Amino acid sequence: MGMPWIFNRLFTGLVFVGLFAVNPLLGSDHLDSPGVKVDGSVDINDLYAFQSPTNPANVVFIITVNPFAGVLSGTTLNPAGVYELNVDTNANGTADHVFRFYFSAARRGVQRYVVTRANGNPFVSGQTGQVTRLQNGGSVTVGLFEDPFFFDLNGFNNGFAFTGRDFFAGANITAIVMELPRSTFGTNNIGVWASTVLQGRQFDRKGRPAINTVLIPSTMKNQFNSTQPAFDSALFGATVRTSLLGLGNSPERAASLASVLLPDILTIDTSSSAGFLNGRQLANDVIDAELSLLSNGAVTGDRVNANDKPFPAQFPYLGAPN
Amino acid sequence: MNCHSILLLVTCVGIFTFASNRSYSIAQEPHSNAISDSPSKSIQGKNPYQVSFADFEWQLRDSAPLFDGRGGIGEKVPTEKAIDLFLKRIKEDPQDYASRTILGELYLRQATEDDNLASYGLAMDALRDALKINANHKPAKFGMAKVLIAQHQFADAISLLLKSIPDESQSPADLALIVDCHLDMGDLAKAKVALNRLAMLEDSPPIVARQARLAELTGHQDEAVELMESALRVVRLGSADPTEWHWYQWRLAGLAFDMGDLPKAHSYVQEILKVDPSDERSTILLAKIQFAKGNPNETLDLLTDLVTSHPSPPTLSMLGDLHETLGDSKSAAKYLDQAEEVVREEALIAKAAHAREAAVFFADHDRHLNEALELIQIDCKQRQDLYTRDAHAWILFKNNRLQEAKAKCVSLTELGAKDLSCLYHATKIHQALGENAIAKTYLQKIINVNPAFSIRYSADVARLQATWEMQPER
């Protein structure tokens, strides 16, 4: 489950409101205005990118949304939203390949979708709950799955007093899963980030796990989410360095780390089957890795070392929903 | 039953299960929905963020077979099941304040879904428990603010919100609650300031609905309708589930009724009732529309049916009033007595949240007028909005304290000359004081818009109209 918004809501203060579309605020004589909700459907929880375990010629991308789908969030994708997978092939922080997902409204438990390329050409269409195989050997699916994220969230928020209890055990998310031939990008070394756009405005974005969550203060999170990675160093470099200093890093290490962590793009050598920091695999314990990295070894882990459910070996690699 | 199995039951069938059973799954039909690049099908040149699925739909018509409705997405975990899930999590880890906070939110949801007032208490308990473990947990404070609003403790809610969440950190959700508090407290200037900030952050239908409410309260009914219509358009675009449109349709129906546009009001409630024939508030509104159209028998049928499934104070009270209007005082007394019983029960559980409703019920039916005064004074401590001041004036009038009633009376300017109940109250207060010229100005507005706005008072409006020989102004 995703770091940015779920952290914001459950831990650092902002809140899930209006559990679903209409959350009347009672009172016998109220008009019961619908609640303003944090829209879980465009709230990116996590981004994964890894070499396909079933076909090393392919690379897999997974974007998850709807934290605690069905309980705190809905389970659908937003028909008014645009879901983007951005791929940078020349390390300049701008997208050279963009895959945009557009969804229909849900009818009878299904949403149809179209994916376009950056030039606006449709690339593939499908519907949730199905796997669509691409002619070039890739596959796409969108649906409800078990949440692959694992983390002792309460321990984190309790001054790193970790108990090893996975807060996200039993939770579901909605995921977009796309497996593409690595040759699509013309290079093995790519940078990836996901973004969601609602009503013409970028609502959220995600590269590496926890960058926004841990290193960007709450007052700047919205700004961070609405900007492009290419501007990260200029806009947020000083802020990230300050945060890293606060986590016990020396000025030199903070500067060095900031230059690696920004722009917030998940980099991967697709020719390698290695995991995080080379992309991010589902089973990677990114929390342990990041806690250790960001705290300069002062905090080594949350004692949750694996997901509560095993990951299937085949596409789409995510577990069935709880 | 563990968390996973609960969710398994209430969410969906595993996606793999049905994917593998479908003829268009990987094994059987590998290229089913793939479409090749083709300039003729693209959206080249268009802003990709102003494009939606509908722009592609024409070329997909024959491609994707529709899912048959098993599992899939769009389903939610029923609130009761979700509550069980989080109770179990808390049992496993009593220090899990995040789960306690979520539990509080779920109880709040249960209270609104089921009109179960006791759930507000459970919500508050869960949120308090969360804060005992982590006193700085802002989501718990936010949840508490929502419960306080539900209990009409607006000032406490707003104070909690402002103390917990500094201006620069306020999210649209925080601001929306602040707007709601100001609107309910009748502080429209502050509501406007907060609403302007909110609108800069987001322009979703719930926010547009609040703009409409502010427009309505400041007498700009036409603007309110325009805003609500635009909100409804966006909601329709975003959801194919018509039940998600109902609140917006119901609001539009109410606005149309208040403006005397009975056909439009009728059309909106019919749309709702076609999908959900058990929708209580739309049925109540339809009953009012039928009465205003001069169809008391249809009104009687609607309310008689409704009262068996929803014996709520508004339904019982309206049915009692209708029987009285139709000359059946025995039935009238029966339903009004039942209404009083339920009003008292609710007032006991919900305390201040139902004080105004109970007070107005007593005043309207000349029952327990001293108690009505006590109740409205409780409400006055929570808010001083237009409706509380109007109710206070009306109850003072019923207690024969005419000068005090006049002082509390909401003026025409404040009303934007639109709320017909308030106009009627003002008419009666000025008439009782012998100020017929002023009373006539109020009555004229009622006659112009909708003289049959109230089952209980329409006969009196007609009588006054005849006595004063007044006609609608065109």
How high is the pLDDT of residue A33?
60
- The C-alpha of B171 sits at a distance from chain A's nearest C-alpha, in angstroms, of 7
A17: closest chain B residue by CA: B173
How high is the pLDDT of residue B28?
26
B chain contacts of residue A309, beta-carbon cutoff 8 Å: 4
Interval A214-232 mean pLDDT: 88
- The C-alpha of A138 sits at a distance from chain B's nearest C-alpha, in angstroms, of 10
Nearest to B56 among A21, A114, A200 (CB): A114
Are residues B75 and A170, on separate chains, in Cβ contact within 8 Å?
no
A chain contacts of residue B93, beta-carbon cutoff 8 Å: 154, 163, 165
For residue range B337-375, list pLDDT tens digits in order: 999 999 888 877 776 677 898 999 999 999 999 999 999
Token pair belonging to A54: 């079933």
For residue range B42-60, list pLDDT tens digits in order: 566 788 888 888 787 766 6
Nearest to A124 among B35, B49, B198 (CB): B35
Token pair belonging to B292: 């205003």
Give, as one character, the DSSP assignment of residue B469.
Answer: T
More confident residue, A174 or B348: A174
Report the 3 state secondary structure along A85-102: EEEECCCCCCCCEEEEEE
B58: closest chain A residue by CA: A114
How high is the pLDDT of residue A206?
94
Q: How many CA atoms lie within 13 A of A86 on its CB side?
A: 25
Share of chain B above pLDDT 70, in %: 84
* Helix, coil or strand: residue A46: strand
Residue B71 has pLDDT above 70, yes or no: no
For residue range A30-74, list pLDDT tens digits in order: 455 666 666 788 999 999 999 999 999 999 999 999 999 988 888
For residue range A267-284, list pLDDT tens digits in order: 999 999 999 989 999 999
A209 phi-psi bin (left φ>0, alpha ψ -120 to 50, beta other): beta
- Are the CB atoms for A144 and B67 separated by under 8 Å? no
Residue B265 has pLDDT above 60, yes or no: yes
For residue range B139-154, list pLDDT tens digits in order: 899 899 999 888 888 8
If 0-12 CB within 10 Å is exposed, 13-18 middle and 19+ buried, where does residue B28 land? exposed
Give, as one character, the DSSP assignment of residue A10.
Answer: I
A107: closest chain B residue by CA: B240
Other residues' Cβ atoms within 10 Å of the Cβ of residue B166: 11
Residue A255 has pLDDT above 90, yes or no: yes
Are residues B98 and A111, on separate chains, in Cβ contact within 8 Å?
no
For residue range A105-161, list pLDDT tens digits in order: 888 788 999 999 988 888 899 999 999 998 888 999 999 999 999 999 888 877 888
- Are the CB atoms for B249 and B219 separated by under 8 Å? no
pTM: 0.74
> What value, to the nearest 5°, has the Cα angle with vertex B285 and ends B283 and B291?
105
For residue range B208-226, list pLDDT tens digits in order: 999 999 998 888 989 999 9
- The C-alpha of B467 sits at a distance from chain A's nearest C-alpha, in angstroms, of 34
Nearest to B8 among A16, A72, A322 (CB): A322
For residue range B88-138, list pLDDT tens digits in order: 999 988 989 999 999 999 999 888 777 777 888 999 999 999 999 988 888
B chain contacts of residue A145, beta-carbon cutoff 8 Å: 15
Considering only CA atoms, which of B422, B415, B450, B460 is closest in space to residue B285? Answer: B450
How high is the pLDDT of residue A222?
80
Burial call B363-374: b when 16+ CB within 10 Å, e when fewer? bbbebbbebbbe
Q: How many CA atoms lie within 13 A of B31 on its CB side?
A: 6
Distance CA A277, CA A267 (A): 8
Kindly indicate the confidence band of residue B414, based on its pLDDT and cuts at 50, 70 and 90: low
Distance CA A221, CA A235 (A): 12
How high is the pLDDT of residue B416?
60
Interval A285-304 mean pLDDT: 90
In the predicted model, what is the mean pLDDT of chain B?
Answer: 83
ipTM of the complex: 0.77
